[in-house]
Amino acid sequence: MTDQNSTTPQPDQQPPAAQPTQQLPVAGPAPAQQAAAEESPNLQSPAPVPPPAPPAEHPAPAQSAAPAQHSVPVQNAVPAPGPEPVYVNPYSAPATATAIGSPRERNRTWVPVVSAAAAAALLASLGTAGAIAVTGGSDDPSSLADVGQTASQNVPVKSSTVENPDWTSVTSAVQESVVAIQVESQAGGAEGSGVVLDSEGRILTNNHVVADASTVQVTLSDGRVYEADIVGTDPTTDLAVVQLSDPPSDLKPATFADSSDVVVGEPVLALGNPLGLANTATTGIVSALDRPVTASAEDGSEQVVTNAIQIDAAVNPGNSGGPLFNASGEVIGITSSIATLSGGMSSGSSGSIGLGFAIPSNLATQIGDQLKADGTAEHAFLGVSLTDATATADGVTRRGAGVTEVVSDSPAGDAGIQRGDVIVAIDGDPVNGAASLTAFVREKEAGAKSVLTVVRDDSTQEITVTLAVKDESATQAPPQEQQGGSDSGSGSDQSQPNNIPDWLREFLPGNEG
């Protein structure tokens, strides 16, 4: 597989408080009751009117008792005869009828209902206006730059540890430092990932993501898109730096850790743009360190050899150039390649199978700083041709890098390295083959001194060499790129999806040999 790479708000409705207006049909019973009271003298038989009762000695209680006789809820009043039924609102507050024949008291019965409806309608309208005011009107200031902005934590993330990683906090803290990259070239479009190097807009990515690109676009985590120019590329280490045009002032550079402190088994998080799915986070552990990985350079001129950090976090085409974080949110590597199954196993690339590889952060920052400075990078050079070999000394047999040729006037030649020597370690790090030694040397800076552990004539000795700057224009046999045997690891990037690690070939039908 190759890297290729929004419900209309309803208008505010009046709240249920506006429903008291539905109580108006309840008005029927009260006038009917009043009409019956007014017409009752004509309907009943004439009867002598009894004389007025003598005044009570205590009028106060009589006054208080009279209203109670007529405090009948309007809902329970007897409806007036007629074809129209009376509907009672079960949610209305009970209304109290006053003394019959008192117009002023009768009229007051309706005031609370109408007032409640009007008040509810007013409150509802005010609530609607308030909602409009809160959500913002046409006069509210807004900026497209504010879309997608979120608050984030600082790195290192204190709440996250190796023993108990807090990936939610880590992702929140680092996501603004990760970008998606889209390129166009004569071969078509492609996508990759990148990490913010500094506040000036420089982005670190893989060389194979931007190589031969005619246009480069960078999308920040919040969706803002910027054009970018290529500052420099380094096919030897598969690293590149691009520069945003008119970068924003709120870029958040990533924090890089010392990759020499990484240990097998520690938790990691990969963040990037797999298959064009930006801001994708996957987690896993460090499966191995110093895994020799080889892949063809974009132009095919040489192989990219890296002592990579092997991880089981899902990494897919499009993750290339994206950062690999530790539990504190610091960058420990740049994801660059994956091992894939193809051929007899499927009709094409199988994507992630839990074998991903990242360029260690120490090498990435070393090359990145050089590319930022002048667009080019220098590489350390030993000056030997190598092959995979084994050596026995002191009763122990080990794998190593066998020297088949020594370049004259090279660091190796000056230090006394001879043809037939087997280099089994460099600066105390075991060397398991030609690719392993090549990758170790490429991690070093030109001018640095290294101690080689060499087996010669069944005995072990240590030889100090001063690494020189490799002449990139020189034409010579591929000294340190040459490796043989099945021990050297290999990987496949999205530009070479059919590359299969040598150690996997024997398990795949149709890929023998």
Catalytic residue positions, numbered:
208, 238, 320
Calpha distance 319→313 (Å, rounded): 11
Cβ(469)–Cβ(376) under 8 Å?
no
Q: What is the CA radius of gyration of the chain?
A: 42
3-class DSSP state for residue 381?
A: strand
Distances, alpha carbon 248 to alpha carbons 110, 252, 506, in Å = 65, 10, 51
Alpha-carbon torsion angle 215, 220, 226, 232, nearest 10: -50
The residue type found at 437 is L
CB atoms within 10 A of CB 284: 17
Helix, strand, or coil (residue 437) = helix
Query: N- to C-terminal Cα distance for the chain?
Result: 24
* Strand-pair category, 396-406 with 384-393: antiparallel
3-state secondary structure of 17: helix
Residue entry with tokens 């290192």:
156
**Kindly report the CA angle at 133 between 130 and 138, in degrees rounded to 5?**
150
Q: How far apart are CA 490 and CA 492, in angstroms?
A: 7
Q: What angle do CA 297, 380, 425 make, to 5 degrees?
A: 100
Give how far Cα 89 sits from Cα of 19, 74, 95, 97, 177, Å. Answer: 10, 11, 12, 17, 61
Query: Residue 253 in contact with residue 199, Cβ under 8 Å?
Result: yes
Tokens of 59: 């009028």
Q: Give residue for tokens 């006038």.
A: 31
Per DSSP bridges, beta strands 280-296 and 396-406 are unpaired
Q: Given phi > 0 = left and psi -120 to 50 = alpha, else beta, which region is 161? A: beta
